[in-house]
Amino acid sequence: MFQQYSGYITVDEKKQKSLFYYFAEAEFDPFSKPLVLWLNGGPGCSSLGVGAFSENGPFRPNGQVLIEVAESIDVCVEDETVNYLNRVDVQMALHARLVGVRRWSVCSNILDYELLDLEIPTIGAVGRLVKAGIPVLVYSGDQDSVIPLTGSRMLVNGLAKELGLRTSVPYRVWFAGQQVITRTSLYLCCGVVW
């Protein structure tokens, strides 16, 4: 089993604003693995309750304990996740301070986004990261109805052309054992494959 950590990172000390994080080490040889920051949901939806426990693992609650995710998605997992993350012992173990919040929920309307800001493209920020030599993974599931793969491919291909990146691995099927898990292509920039 791997190590897990959670807590808060202060982002504005004066206003006492913090971001909650949940960190799960790589299962094998964690010190040689890259750090992945997974942000999802939104606006105002939980990367812990949605991403880590409902969509892509590493666990899902069964009401009492966390069980390792098999290979399928449980469409009823949201209720189990809400019940699990509202338990006081779980909140204490996660170092989660629910200050001013009555119950944890999958998504929150506390974050008051401007509707027009929801469609601001982030591909420019991805380009700045790549130019700075930071490896970036842009991922869209090939069955994702919210963020279609074709749109992500179009944006990444356009960015690669704009930055003059060359393809290091052409678009291909990616296997885990005998199972097709997705399709991928890789680009080379600044001596780094991304």
**pLDDT reading at 156 higher than 70:** yes
Is the same domain home to 100 and 173? no
User: Domain containing 13: what range?
Assistant: 4-115
Q: What is the pTM of this model?
A: 0.57
Q: Is the peptide bond before 43 cis (omega within 30 degrees of 0)?
A: yes
Confidence bin at 69 (pLDDT 50/70/90): low
Q: Are residues 28 and 92 in the same domain?
A: yes
The torsion region of residue 100 among left (phi > 0), alpha (psi -120 to 50) and beta comes to: left
pLDDT for res 192: 47
Position 73 pLDDT exceeds 50? yes
Task: Look at 3-7, 9-13, 118-122, 156-160 and tell me which has the smallest mean pLDDT.
Answer: 118-122
Residues 83 and 12 in one domain: yes
Read off the pLDDT of residues 96-123 as tens digits, 9 standing for 90 and up: 876 767 788 887 776 666 666 666 677 8
Residues 139 and 50 in one domain: no
Q: Is 102 exposed, middle or buried (0-12, 13-18, 19+ CB in 10 A)?
A: exposed
Is the domain of 60 the same as that of 106?
yes
C-alpha 155/C-alpha 161 separation (Å) is 10
Q: How confident is the model at residue 71 (pLDDT cuts 50, 70, 90)?
A: low
Mean pLDDT of the 140-164 span? 79
User: What pLDDT is attached to residue 114?
Assistant: 65
Q: Is residue 126 part of a domain?
A: no
Whether residues 94 and 18 fall in one domain: yes
Q: Is the pLDDT of residue 77 over 50?
A: yes
Average pLDDT over residues 89-102: 80
Task: Specify if 125 maps to a domain.
Answer: no
Is there a single domain that holds both residue 11 and residue 96? yes
Domain count, the chain: 2
Q: Distance (Å, rounded) from C-alpha 58 to C-alpha 52? A: 6
Final residue belonging to a domain, choices 82, 115, 148: 115
Query: What rounded mean pLDDT belongs to the chain?
Result: 75
Please state the rounded mean pLDDT for residues 15-36. 84
Residue 122 lies in a domain: no
Tokens at residue 106, please? 């999958």
Structure tokens at 182: 């997705």
> Domain holding 160: CATH number?
3.40.50.11320
Q: Which two tokens stand for residue 122?
A: 């982030």
pLDDT at 193 over 50: no
Q: Are residues 100 and 138 in the same domain?
A: no
